[in-house]
Amino acid sequence: MASPYTGVRVLDLTNGTGMYAGKFLAGLGMDIIKAEPVKTGCPERGYAPFFHGEQSVENSLFFAYHNTGKKSVALDLDCKEGRELLGRLIASVDVLLDSHPAGWLEDKGFSFNHMQVLNPGLIYGSLTAFGLHGPYRSWAASSELMANAAGGQMFEIGLPNRAPLQFGFNLVSNICCLYLAFGVQAALRRRRLTGEGAEVDISMQTCVAAWRCTPYGAYQRDNSTLPTRVGPTAPFRPSGVYRCSDGMVIMNPLNWGNMIDWMKETGHDVKQYDTPKYLEGPPGHNRNFWNESDEINRFIESFTVKFRAAELMEEAQRRKIPAGAIQKCGDMLTDRHLEERAYFQAVEHPVHGIYRYPGAPFKMSGSPYVANLRAPILGEHTQEVLFGIGVTPAQFAEYKAKGVI
Amino acid sequence: MKPLEGIHILDLGWVVAGPHATRVLSDLGASVIRFETAKHPDTLRPDMPRKGVTDIAQEGGWQFQEQNRNKLNINVNVKTPGGRRIFEALLKKSDIVCCNQAPRSFRKLGLDYEGLKAIKPDIIVANASGLGDYGKHSGYATYGPILNAICGISGLISYENEASFGYDCVIADYVGGLSLANALLAALEYRDRTGEGQFVDLAQCEQFISCFGELLLEREVTGVDPLPVGNHDYARRMAPHNVYQCRGIDRWVSIACGDDAEWSRLAMCIGQPWAMDSKYATLAGRLENQARLDAEIGRWARSRSPIEITYLLQSAHVSAAPVLNTEETLEDMNLLANKAFQRVEFAPSERKPDSLQVTGLLTPITGAELHVQAPASVLGGDTSFVLRQVLGMADAEIAQAETDGAFSG
């Protein structure tokens, strides 16, 4: 079975913000060529933690995860010959991915206009905090924190009278990489039909601003209500975060009758809550649950504390009560459901050995996502890639002697 | 030419994940027909309606507009013989059938890939359920908040070294929707190359986990579970890395320093003796003294406004941005320049407002200028158009379909 994009070549110049996009597209069969500095490799190779606790250019976990399925070309982009080679690489690929701030590539002599001369069909995919063309395009943004803040999402996350909270964990960057990958795929289709290249300009601020729907509606409707931080905000009741004997669950017992039956079966005192006042009306629409939210949540918690979180989730779900245990990463690694779906994939790497990595993000029956590939050794594919764009063995040796590659 | 012009999608999804996928596809030019029934209208329809709108079938509130603008809407019940005939006739003219139901509901709708393939051999069928099409927990009911818990996000987003407070916003739905849109374009490319359709089984949790998979690998390798970090950098590569309270009520600014040079520029901007202390000169020193560093910057920021700080620091090329609230987001000049918001205009009536701002094109591509053609349709608002113009059905056929239950339930 083949992949959807076999034969599509991508030059990946991203930093840590945009690296997930190339990894994702490698899974769909694109040939991702990562260009990185000679000797040290890209800065992300220095990101802790490291396999076996030992820092080396091959041992960064961040690098190993975000570069699976890519090829590595070691190339000095700060010298004249290196830039000539970069120009030849740009001319040879279908897609260029970048996530450095606006102007970074231009400073190296490669404006979009110039790149289009080198390669009229080029798809230039860019992911930046604020976009390539708006007034904040040259703002410094060393962290995804800035897009979290200026996208508006952050203002609502957190507890009352406490600081707004970011998502963190490179999560916003990686989610925005999905928008970049989507834009690149769409641009490739357009090129197939029209022959035209394109610029794909993903602004993390714009994406973040689109993940928060209700506030815009509330603001435009009532003009005054500026939602602020209220902790958990599920738009239905009863709903909440409940303590268990060993952790917590998020649960929405909208179908109250099921919840009451369960409590009665286990001999839990259901108090006054087994009455028409709470049982009538369609699930989720009984106002009493809003009016008495705190008391009812305390009542629910008096029941949940008797269970382990995983046990509570399973039994609640069996009874058609939506519930999810607040899991740790370690819980997911041993999750039997994910195991049954063969989600984690063993990936073998010549330096660090075999470890389980998160696998395919979806299962395609005809052209499966390839999820068992590893990250490249620094410069592993320099020769293969440069010979492929017409560099001769003699030239190759000369570049190598000069330290260009 | 718009990138996805000529692609025809039947959308049997609901709420956010599925409709967000077809929304970003339609933003780039795909044609989408959304199925809905009067008995089970989209849960989002009643949410945040315009003032004076009481009939939920009449138009649908802000959230519904956001995910369903530009789509045609038909009130056809595919579980009835008449509805199934209409669905199959449309299927023959379509490239994609897109859904985000629990596996059991997906099957009840009669959307099994093998069955649809028998009618349209190269059809692409996708279902984005919470936990996937098979597996021990595939029957679980999962709203966004439940997925956040199961995927570990609720446990990670909290203040530093504090327990989870149960973060539960719908981010998982957007991740699932974007992943679905990606999978569908890949499947289309494969079909155009080989002539073959396929089935996409998307478990929203699996894409979500993949977006912070580095942490899973870290847990696998080190055996240590990551903990909430508040607004600090989880990887300890940056300090300062936080938000600081400013002058006014609930006003905050974000500041980060990616390296020692950026810190020294920040220290110059602050211009107070403590900032020149050599213990802050290196990343190791700033991490070791992070609590004190945060307190000092906090004191400096408290008497200034977020915008004042942002401009001061950005002029020295130091990473800073205000924490914007809803009103400020809608007026932010960078978001406006990037066309992050678009207006949907309603037919003139006495109701005000007669237009609403929704978010715009999230993936700007050469040739893909987005114009929101129309607000989301009223429930079944395009049924007649689709049956007569798209399918060319005559009055008698439509009447027969109605007799066979097509528009019931």
Report how far residue A329's alpha carbon sits from residue B209's, in angstroms, rounded to the nearest whole number.
Answer: 9
Lowest mean pLDDT among A92-101, B13-22, B250-259, B364-373: B364-373
- A179 at B interface, C-beta within 8 A: yes
Shortest CA gap A163–chain B (Å): 7
* Cα separation, B132 vs B126, whole angstroms: 11
Using alpha carbons, select from A68, A204, A128, A349 the residue that is nearest to residue B214.
A68
Q: Does A64 touch chain B (CB under 8 A)?
A: yes
Average pLDDT over residues B186-203: 98
pTM of the model: 0.97
- The H or E element containing residue B137 is none
Strand partners, B87: none
Distance from CA of A287 to the nearest CA of B (A): 16
- Residue A25 phi, psi dihedral angles, 5° rounding: -70, -30
A392–chain B nearest CA distance, Å:
33
Q: Quote the strand ranges of B83-240, DSSP E.
A: 96-99, 124-129, 198-203
The Cα–Cα gap between B13 and B29 comes to 19
Model confidence at A239, pLDDT cuts 50, 70, 90, reads confident
**Residue of A6, A116, A185 to mutate, interface with B, max B Cβ within 10 Å:** A185
- Is B151 an 8 Å CB contact of chain A? yes
Would strands A353-357 and A345-349 be described as parallel, antiparallel, or unpaired? antiparallel
Report the pLDDT averaged over residues A313-320.
96
CB < 8 Å from A in window 30-49 of B: 47-49
Mutation target vs B (from A113, A182, A222; most B CBs, 10 A cutoff): A182
B323 neighbors A164 (Cβ within 8 angstroms): yes
What would you report as the CA-atom Rg of chain A, rounded to the nearest whole angstrom?
Answer: 26
Condensed to tens digits (0 to 9), the pLDDT of residues B65-122 reads: 999 999 999 999 999 999 999 999 999 999 999 999 999 999 999 999 999 999 999 9
pLDDT of residue B308 exceeding 70, the answer is yes
* Dihedrals phi, psi of B42, to nearest 5 degrees: -55, 135
Residue-level pLDDT at B209: 96
* DSSP code of residue B166: -
* Nearest chain A CA: its distance from B125 CA (Å): 10
Q: Which of B173, B201, B294, B382 is catalytic?
A: B173
Q: Which residue has the higher pLDDT, A223 or B347?
A: B347
B250 in active site? no
pLDDT higher than threshold 90 for residue A381:
yes
Q: Do B3 and A186 touch (CB under 8 A)?
A: yes
Average pLDDT, chain A: 94
What distance in Å separates the CA atoms of residue B341 and residue B337, rounded to the nearest whole number?
A: 10
Among the partner residues B205, B218, B362, nearest to A210 by beta-carbon distance: B362
What tens digit of pLDDT does each residue of A43-72 get? 999 999 999 999 999 999 999 999 999 999
The Cα–Cα gap between B360 and B363 comes to 9
Q: Any CB–CB contact under 8 A between A167 and chain B?
A: yes
Alpha helices in A266-341 (DSSP H): 276-279, 288-291, 293-304, 309-318, 329-333, 336-340
Contact A324 B146 (CB under 8 A): yes
pLDDT, residue A336, reads 95
pLDDT confidence bin for A215, thresholds 50/70/90:
confident
What is the C-alpha to C-alpha distance for residues A53 and A34, in angstroms, rounded to an integer? Answer: 25
Q: 175-234 in B: which are within 8 Å (CB) of A?
A: 175, 178-183, 185-190, 192-194, 196-203, 205-207, 209-223, 225-226, 229-231, 233-234
Whole-number pLDDT of residue A331: 95
- CB contact under 8 Å between A360 and B206, yes or no, is yes
Question: What are the tokens at A227?
Answer: 């939602």
Of the residues A66, A115, A213, the best mutation for testing chain B's interface (the one with the most B CB atoms within 10 Å of its CB) is A213
Largest CA distance in chain B: 86
pLDDT in the model for residue A77: 93
pLDDT-above-70 percentage for chain A: 98
Give how far A268 is from chain B: nearest CA, Å.
Answer: 24
Searching chain A, which residue's CA lies closest to the CA of residue B213?
A358
- Residue A320: left if φ>0, alpha if ψ -120 to 50, beta else—which one? left
CB distance from A157 to chain B under 8 Å? yes
Please report the pLDDT score of residue B56 as a whole number: 65
Which pLDDT score, from 0 to 100, does residue B51 have?
A: 76
Q: Running DSSP on this structure, what letter comes out for residue B376?
A: P
Residue showing tokens 């992943």: B179
Give the angle subtended at the CA of A192 by the CAs of A187 and A195, to the nearest 5°: 90
Give the mean pLDDT of B151-163. 92
Could you give the CA distance from residue A323 to residue B94 in angstroms, rounded to a whole number?
37
B344-401 pLDDT, tens digit each: 888 777 777 788 888 999 999 987 877 776 789 999 999 999 999 999 999 999 999 9
Beta bridge partners of B256: B241, B319
Nearest by CB to B1, from A51, A170, A194: name it: A194
Predicted confidence (pLDDT) per residue in A243-298, tens digit: 999 999 999 998 899 999 999 999 999 989 999 999 987 777 788 988 898 899 99
What pLDDT does residue A232 have? 74
